[in-house]
């Protein structure tokens, strides 16, 4: 039997930073190279973004706690590369800090792309998911993110599929419904498919694209676009109270009402079923509870499945004592 051995546990960022020259070389190339031609982007981009955000905030990564874990030579070499990048950036440290793992340099390139855009700036915004433009806008935004921010949605040929997954996810489709639609798509076009593989691929698209990459990069996209809208005084296009795109994508909801129901502990599937009956987009948690209390006796006639009604009543109706509409 082999003897026990101790294995040192290191932060992933420290492992990458220890490659000093390789990381510094990537940062040097990142400033001027086409994103599509950068090698090792997946390995270095996250740590490079973190170091650049730290540099913008402190003026040197030598002031950060991570510097104590690395040699002075490595820190000085990285500082040199980061200083060259920072000199080209207008993006402030606060904006960069709101998007960990997204390079401030990419945010800057996206801002410059917005400044060069000569069409109606309103066309740069994501469209409401229930509008006819939502799918086309998602396709365009993903391509713009790939070109200027980071190649997050690859290959380009799959962007239409990724956009379709986002639309279905935001409309509240269940995972089972999305899988059924994928099966129907293959059958209608007489395409061969392996059912277990198709199911697994659909689940991976939801997790990796709809719930991870899209919230991360769409949030950064919208934040930079808002900065551009401030520059040109188009405050009318900035909806402060609007549910932000990152939250919508993370939870698979497109309205305040849906998010309120899920915050109250209702499952996404039940929240969508109830939302279709509420037919309002702006209800707070308290307003959702009040709506359910007022219509509890009418549920049986609404066509809501019994299992969903049980969950809604268990989560939203008070137990013990008379039913009362909450006031706070």
For residues 206 and 147, what is the distance between their CA atoms, to the nearest angstrom? 23
Dihedral over alpha carbons 40, 41, 43, 47 (to 10 degrees): 130
Note the pLDDT of residue 7.
62
Note the pLDDT of residue 325.
45
Dihedral over alpha carbons 136, 140, 142, 148 (to 10 degrees): -170
Under 8 Å between Cβ of 126 and 102 = no
Note the pLDDT of residue 191.
87
Output the average pLDDT for the chain.
89
Under 8 Å between Cβ of 281 and 318 = no
Q: How many Cβ atoms are within 10 Å of 161's Cβ, its own excluded?
A: 15
Max alpha carbon distance in the chain (Å)? 73
For residues 54 and 68, what is the distance between their CA atoms, to the nearest angstrom? 15
For residues 224 and 214, what is the distance between their CA atoms, to the nearest angstrom? 15
Give the pLDDT band (50/70/90) at residue 37. Answer: confident
Task: Select the highest-mean-pLDDT range: 36-40, 234-238, 314-318.
Answer: 234-238
| Token digits of residue 51 | 């170091």
Buried residues in 204-224 as b, exposed as e (16+ CB within 10 A) = ebbeebbbebbbbbbbbbbbb
Give the pLDDT band (50/70/90) at residue 38. Answer: confident
Contacts of 302 (CB under 8 A, 6+ apart): 277, 295
Give the pLDDT band (50/70/90) at residue 6. Answer: low
Proportion of the chain above pLDDT 90, given as a percent: 68
Buried residues in 74-84 as b, exposed as e (16+ CB within 10 A) = bbebbbebbee
CA distances from residue 54 to 48, 195, 246 in whole angstroms, order as listed: 10, 46, 23
Burial class (CB in 10 A: 0-12, 13-18, 19+), 113: middle
Lowest mean pLDDT among 27-41, 135-149, 173-187, 196-210: 27-41
Give 205-258 pLDDT, tens digit per residue: 999 999 999 999 999 999 999 999 999 999 999 987 677 899 999 999 888 999
Give the pLDDT band (50/70/90) at residue 3. Answer: low
Give 50-64 pLDDT, tens digit per residue: 999 999 999 999 999
CA distances from residue 129 to 34, 149, 164 in whole angstroms, order as listed: 32, 23, 11
Q: What is the arithmetic mean of pLDDT over 311-328?
A: 64
Note the pLDDT of residue 1.
55
Give 254-301 pLDDT, tens digit per residue: 889 999 999 999 999 999 999 989 989 889 999 999 999 998 888 888
Give 98-109 pLDDT, tens digit per residue: 999 999 999 999
Contacts of 194 (CB under 8 A, 6+ apart): none
Write down the pTM of the prediction. Answer: 0.86
Give the torsion sign (CA, 51, 57, 60, 66).
Answer: negative
In this predicted structure, the answer to whether residue 319 has a pLDDT above a threshold of 70 is: no
Lowest mean pLDDT among 129-138, 181-190, 213-222: 181-190
């Amino acid at each position: 039997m082999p003897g026990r051995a101790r294995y040192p546990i290191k932060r992933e960022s420290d492992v990458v930073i220890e490659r000093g020259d390789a990381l510094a070389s990537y940062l040097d190339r990142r400033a001027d190279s086409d994103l599509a031609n950068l090698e090792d982007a997946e390995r270095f981009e996250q740590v490079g973004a973190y170091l650049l955000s730290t540099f913008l905030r402190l003026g040197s990564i030598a002031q950060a706690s991570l510097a104590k874990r690395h040699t002075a030579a490595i820190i000085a070499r990285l500082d040199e590369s980061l200083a060259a990048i920072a000199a080209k950036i207008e993006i402030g440290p606060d904006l960069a800090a709101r998007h960990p793992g997204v390079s401030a340099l990419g945010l800057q390139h996206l801002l410059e792309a917005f400044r060069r855009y000569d069409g109606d700036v309103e066309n740069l915004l994501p469209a409401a998911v229930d509008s006819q433009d939502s799918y086309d806008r998602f396709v365009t935004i993903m391509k713009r993110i790939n070109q200027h921010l980071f190649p997050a949605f690859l290959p380009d040929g799959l962007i239409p599929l990724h956009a379709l997954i986002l639309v279905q996810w935001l409309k509240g489709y269940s995972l089972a419904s999305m899988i059924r639609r994928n099966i129907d798509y293959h059958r209608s076009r007489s395409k061969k498919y392996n059912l277990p593989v198709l199911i697994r691929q659909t689940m991976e698209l939801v997790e990796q694209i709809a719930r991870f990459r899209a919230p991360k990069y769409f949030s950064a996209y919208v934040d930079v676009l808002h900065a551009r809208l401030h520059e040109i005084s188009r405050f009318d296009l900035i909806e402060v109270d609007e549910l932000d795109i990152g939250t919508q994508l993370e939870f698979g909801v497109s309205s305040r009402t849906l998010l309120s129901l899920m915050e109250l502990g209702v499952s996404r599937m039940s929240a969508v079923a109830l939302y279709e009956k509420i037919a309002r987009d702006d209800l707070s948690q308290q307003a959702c509870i009040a709506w359910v209390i007022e219509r509890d006796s009418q549920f049986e006639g609404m066509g809501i499945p019994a299992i969903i009604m049980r969950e809604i009543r268990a989560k939203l109706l008070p137990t013990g004592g008379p039913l009362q509409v909450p006031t706070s």
